[in-house]
Chain A
Amino acid sequence: MDTVQFLMDGFGVAMQWQNLAFAFFGVLIGTAVGVLPGIGPMSGVALLIPITATLTSGLDPQSAAASSIILLAGVYYGAMYGGSTTSILLNTPGESSSVVTALDGYQMARQGRAGAALSISAIGSFVAGIVSLLGLTLLAKPLSELALSFGPAEYFSLMLLGLCAVSGLAGSSITKALIMTVAGLLLATIGMDNVSGVSRFTYDNPYLYSGLEFLTVAVGLFALGEVFRTILDRDNGDGKTAKVGRILPTKQDMKESTGPIVRGSLLGFFIGVLPGAGATLASFFSYIAEKKISKRPEEFGHGAIAGVAAPESANNGASGGAMIPLLTMGIPGSGTTAILMGALIMYNVQPGPLLFEDNPQVAWGLIASMFIGNVMLLVLNMPLVKVFAKVIDTPAKYLLPVIVAISIFGVYAVQFNIFDLALLLACGLLGYFLTKNDYPVAPLVLALVLGPMIENNMRRALTSSNGDFSVFVTSPVSLIFLLIGALWISIPLIMKMRGRSVIINEED
C-alpha cells in the first residue's frame, strides 16, 4: 500500500462522526485557548487529556487513542489560529508565538483594518497548515523507515539531541535549562525500573511505584503555575479591544500577502521540524525575513499586512512540522508535542517509526483529521472572529478559579487519589517559582516523558556492548547526533560570549 492509500484510510477514520466531532471541539477549544491570555497551548492540551480520557473510555483502545489525539492535536494547532486574535485586537499576544504579529497587527487595528488582519492571518494559517500537512504526509513514510534502521545506541543519541536542542533554545540561561532537563530525567527514574524490576526512590509509597504521573506534573507546572502567576502578578489584562470592522481582505491585501504566506509557510514548516525550535522562533524568523526582502521595509511596524501574514503562517506551519519528529521518530521537539506524546503513551500507543505500522489508524487518522481541522478553523475564524473576540472579555475573576477546578477534576478523574492532587498543587507552586525566575519548565516535562526511553535505550546499547561506552561514538549515525547535540548547546554559549544577543524560544 502506498501513501495515498494510507491517507485515504486515514480519512476514513477521520470522517467517522465521533472523530469529526472530536476534531471540531478540539479546534474550537484550541481557538478559545489561543484567544484567552492566561492559558497557552501547553496547559490547554494538558487540561484536556483527562477529559478526553473519560470521553473515549467506552471505545476500544485503538479508536480511543485516535479520537483523543485528534482532539488534542486540534487544540494545539487551533491555538495557533486563535493566538493572533488578541495580538491584533489588544496588542497583548495570547501566545508567545504571536508576539511578532502584534507589531503590525495592532497597528492595522488602529487604522481600522483589524478585520483584514484577522482574516489574512486565518488564511495564512490555513495555507501553512495545508503545506505542513502535505510535508508530513510525504515525509512520514521515508522518515519512519529511516528511523526503523536505528539501534538502541542511535536512539539514545537522537533523544539526547532532542533534549539538547530544547535546552539550548529554552529560556535565557542554558545552565538553568540544562538543570531543568537533568532534574526531569531524575524525576523520571522514580518508580519501578522496567528493565530490572527494581523499585527506585519509592520508599514504600504505593503511588510512586508507577512513577510520577506525567499528566499531574504537566497540568501542575503549566496550568496551575500560570494561574498562580496571574494572581500574584495582578495580571488581569484590562485593555481596550479594537473594533473588528470589515472582515474580508481587499484584493490589494491579498496580493501583498500571497508571497509572505507562501514563504512563511515553508520557513515555518522547516523550523518546526527541527527539535527545540518551534512556533515562536518560526514566526520571529519569518518576520525578519519578510522585512529584509520587502521593497518597503519602512512600512513594517506601521501596519504592513506582510508583517501579519508571514509570522502567522509560520507559526502554524511550525506546529504542523513539529508533528513530524513526534510521529515518525517518537521524539517530541517542544513542550506541547511532549504532552501529546505523553497522551499517546497513556493509551499504550508508542509514537515512533512503528506507529505507522502498528497503529496506522491512529497515525493516518490524525494526519487526515488535521486536514479537516484546518478547514474547520478557516470556516470558524473568518465569520466567527467577532464571537471569538468576545471571548477575550471573559473576566479573570471567573476564569482562574475555574481553571484550578478543572485541573483538580481532571487529575482526580484519571488518577483517583489524593496523592496526585497534592503533587498537582506542589507542581503548581514549583511551576510559578521556576518560571518566574527564568527556569524553563518545558525541558523538564520533555525530559520526564523521554527519560524512561533514554534510559532503556542506553542500557540496551550498553548491555550489548558489555558496558563499553564507546558504542555511542563508534556508530557513525549516533556520533553525528551527539555532535549536533553538542553544537546546539555550545553555539548559543559561544555567541553569548562574543556579546551577540541570542534569540530564545519562549514556551510554545
Chain B
Amino acid sequence: MSRTFDRYASIIFLLIGVFFIVESRKIAATSYGSNVGPDIFPIGLGILLILLSIKLFIEALKSKQETGGEKPDYKRFFIIFAAAVLYVVLLEPLGYVITTFLFLLIGFQVLERGGWLKSIVIAAAFSFGVYYIFVGLLQGSLPGFPV
C-alpha cells in the first residue's frame, strides 16, 4: 500500500513542481527597483520539488512491498465525509443551527447506532448553544435560519 502510494505521490509532487515552474514564468518578471523578481522563489522551489520527487520515486521502487493491515473502515468514513460536505454546502442556505444539528446527529448515529435521545439532546445543545453564545453574547455573525 505504502509503496504504491509513494509512487503515485512522487508523480503528483513532480507535476506540482512542473506546474509551479511553468506558471511562475508567466508572472511579470520585472520588479520595481530590484533584479530579484517574484518568480525566482517559486521557480527555485519547483526545481527542488522535482528533484525530491525523483528521489522519492527511486526510494519507492527500492522499498519492499508492505502488507496492509486491517482494511480501513471506508463505509462509515464516506458517510461522515459526505455529511460534512453537505454541511458545508448547506450552511449558508439553511443556516447554522439546522445544518449543525443534522450533521452531528448523523455523525453520532453513524459511529454508533442507538441512544437516539442522547444523540438528539447533545446535537441540539451544541448547535443551539454555539449559535446563541456566539451570536447573542459575543455579537458574532453566523447564518441564522432560512427565511
Report which A residues bind B (CB closer than 8 A): 54-55, 57, 173, 175-176, 178-179, 182-183, 185-186, 189, 193, 195-196, 198, 200-201, 228, 231-234, 395-398, 400-402, 404-405, 408-409, 412-413, 416, 418, 421-422, 425, 429, 433, 437-439, 455, 458-459, 462-463, 466-467
9 sampled A-B residue pairs with Cβ under 8 A:
A179-B49, A182-B45, A182-B49, A186-B49, A200-B24, A228-B77, A405-B104, A405-B127, A433-B5
B126: chain A residues at CB < 8 Å are: 402, 405
Please tell me which one of the listed residues A185, A186, A233, A401 contacts residue B108 in the complex, with CB atoms under 8 A apart.
A401
Query: Nearest Cβ distance between residue B49 and chain A, in whole angstroms?
Result: 5
Residue of B nearest to A228 (CB): B77
User: Contacts A402-B104, A412-B91, A438-B2 hold; do A54 and B134 have CB atoms under 8 A apart?
Assistant: yes
A409: chain B residues at CB < 8 Å are: 96, 100, 130, 134
Please tell me which one of the listed residues A173, A186, A422 contacts residue B88 in the complex, with CB atoms under 8 A apart.
A422
Interface hits, B54-95 → A, CB 8 Å:
55-56, 59, 70, 72-74, 76-77, 80-81, 84-85, 87-89, 91-92
- Are B134 and A413 in contact (CB-based, < 8 A)? yes
Query: Nearest Cβ distance between residue A239 and chain B, in whole angstroms?
Result: 17
A405: chain B residues at CB < 8 Å are: 100, 103-104, 107, 126-127, 130
B80: chain A residues at CB < 8 Å are: 231, 400-401, 404
B107: chain A residues at CB < 8 Å are: 400-401, 404-405
Residue of A nearest to B1 (CB): A437
Majority secondary structure of chain A interface residues (helix, strand, loop or mixed) = helix
A459: chain B residues at CB < 8 Å are: 34, 36, 40-41
Please tell me which one of the listed residues B91, B100, B111 contacts residue A231 in the complex, with CB atoms under 8 A apart.
B111
Bound-state CA distance A404–B3 (Å) is: 30
Query: Nearest Cβ distance between residue A243 and chain B, in whole angstroms?
Result: 27
B139: chain A residues at CB < 8 Å are: 57
A433: chain B residues at CB < 8 Å are: 5
User: Contacts A179-B53, A183-B16, A438-B2 hold; do A404 and B84 have CB atoms under 8 A apart?
Assistant: yes
A429: chain B residues at CB < 8 Å are: 81
A196: chain B residues at CB < 8 Å are: 31-32, 34, 37-38
Bound-state CA distance A243–B80 (Å) is: 35
Residue of A nearest to B10 (CB): A179
Interface residues in B, total, Cβ within 8 A = 65
B41: chain A residues at CB < 8 Å are: 185, 189, 455, 458-459
A402: chain B residues at CB < 8 Å are: 104, 126
Query: Nearest Cβ distance between residue A242 and chain B, in whole angstroms?
Result: 25
Residue of B nearest to A463 (CB): B34
A234: chain B residues at CB < 8 Å are: 70, 73
Q: Which 6 A-B pairs have the closest CB atoms?
A: A401-B107, A232-B72, A193-B38, A397-B112, A196-B31, A462-B36
Bound-state CA distance A205–B76 (Å) is: 34
Bound-state CA distance A179–B5 (Å) is: 15
- Are B88 and A176 in contact (CB-based, < 8 A)? no
B27: chain A residues at CB < 8 Å are: 198, 200
- Are A179 and B37 in contact (CB-based, < 8 A)? no
Query: Nearest Cβ distance between residue A200 and chain B, in whole angstroms?
Result: 6
B120 part of interface (Cβ distance < 8 Å): no
Query: Nearest Cβ distance between residue A27 and chain B, in whole angstroms?
Result: 21
B23: chain A residues at CB < 8 Å are: 201
B98: chain A residues at CB < 8 Å are: none
Bound-state CA distance A413–B55 (Å) is: 42
- Are A173 and B35 in contact (CB-based, < 8 A)? no
What string of 1s and 0s marks CB contacts (under 8 Å) between B122-133 and chain A? 100011001000
Residue of A nearest to B112 (CB): A397
Query: Nearest Cβ distance between residue B130 and chain A, in whole angstroms?
Result: 6
User: Contacts A175-B59, A458-B41, A466-B35 hold; do A231 and B104 have CB atoms under 8 A apart?
Assistant: no
- Are A186 and B2 in contact (CB-based, < 8 A)? no
